Structure formats: structure tokens, C-alpha cells
Amino acid sequence: MACRSPGSRARGAQRLLVGLPLAGWVVCTVCVLRLKSELREIRVSVAGLASEAEGPPAAAAEDGEQRAPAAVAAEPARPAQAAALAQGAPSRPHLRQLALLDVSDYLAVGPGSGCVAVNLGGRDVALNLSERACNSHRCPPCFLLNASWGTAVHVLTLQDCSSMFVTDGHQLGSGALAGAVQPLQFVNVNDDAPAAVADGERHFLVPPGGTLEGTCMASGGNRIHAGASALSYLRPGSSWERETTGAEWRP
């Protein structure tokens, strides 16, 4: 084995001292380049995830039409819509709509009628609403009155409205309807003569061609509450006279 001189060993040590910093610089440069490359890849991945979160564009169908995104197409029906579809009925619209009521004569009314026509041309009519008094069905809460002008004003009397049938099987004041309130609508279809409505205690006039809105409560003692005043619609020659109390009118 050859022996190295002290001079050669010193030169080797000098080369080593010079080479170590250079090698370290090279290693650091490589690490920095790798970090930059990885950062670029991370940015690309983040951008891709963001675009996916915003939703992919609608894919074009083979026939040229656009298909809705799968997330929209698979959106479940709302609970109310699902219940309506399960019952075979269309979902209820958001906008309020006026009611469309079927009209029948009270002597020929069916279970689905919304209004009954009552002829007061020559006689009074009394209906007990706690019974199925309209052709063996419940009387709907809408009455079209046809009166004729004469010395007497004929009256539609509605009895026992606080226990009236609201359907053929359910009555006001019982079960779930124990504290319910039933609106009543009266329409005088005659433009020449007034008509009258009574609850067995109080009387109200419906002006010619006019309407009267009333209310009957389950706890209201069979009274019809209405805001019309008989005094406003009396005509000369009628048989209606004011009571001594001055509060109401009776025939």
C-alpha cells in the first residue's frame, strides 16, 4: 500500500472543503425546483375542484338539445307535492285563486254542490242546517235568493247553524270542528226586490242585486252574525216595521 505525502493529503482536504458547499447548493436548488412543481400541481388540482363544485356544463344530447344536469334532474319532489301526487291530485298552486262553485236548486242539490238556489218568490223557506235538509244532503253555506217584489218580503230562515252539516258526515261543533266558524254567503239575484235572511231570532235584508256575508260559530248559539242593516234597504210599502228596541227589524 502506497503512502501519501502530507502535501497530497492537504490538497485532498482542500478539495473536499470546496466541494461540500457546492454539493449542498445543488441539492437545495433541486429541492426548490421540486417544491415549485408540486405547488403548480396543487394549484391545478384546486382549480379543478372549484370548477366541479360550480357544476358541470350541461352535456349536449345526440339530437343537439341540452340535457339538464343530473343533480337537477334527480331533485326529489317536495313533501307537499309528493303527497298530492300520491293522492292522484295536482299540486296546489302558489297563487291564491277564487273559488268556482257549482249551483243547484236546494231541492235537487248533490253532495258536491257549492251553492244552492232558493226561490222566495211567493213563500218563506226554512232550512234546518243541523239536518241534511237539502235533498237529503248537507246545505252548502252559499245561498242564491230569488225574491219577487210585493207587500211582503219573504224570508229564508236558517235554523241551528251552530251544528250545521259542513259535509254529509261532519257537523259544526263536534269533533275537530268543536270550535270552528263557518262563513255564510247570501246573493240576491233579483235586481228589483229585496230578500231576507233570518236565524230564528234576527232578520237581515239582502238588497236587490246585492250580497250579504254572515258568520255562524259553533259556540254562537245558532245566531248568524252579519253587518248589514235592514234599515238601509227598506222600501216604501213593505210590511217591515221597526221594533220598539230600535236595534233590529222584523217582518
pLDDT digits (tens, 9 = 90+) for 7-24: 566 565 566 555 566 666
CB distance 161 to 126 below 8 Å: no
When pLDDT is averaged across residues 117-144 and rounded to a whole number, the result is 93
pLDDT digits (tens, 9 = 90+) for 146-162: 988 776 788 999 999 99
C-alpha 239/C-alpha 188 separation (Å) is 19
How high is the pLDDT of residue 48? 72
How high is the pLDDT of residue 107? 92
How high is the pLDDT of residue 213? 92
**Does residue 234 surpass a pLDDT of 50?**
no
Q: How confident is the model at residue 96 (pLDDT cuts 50, 70, 90)?
A: very low
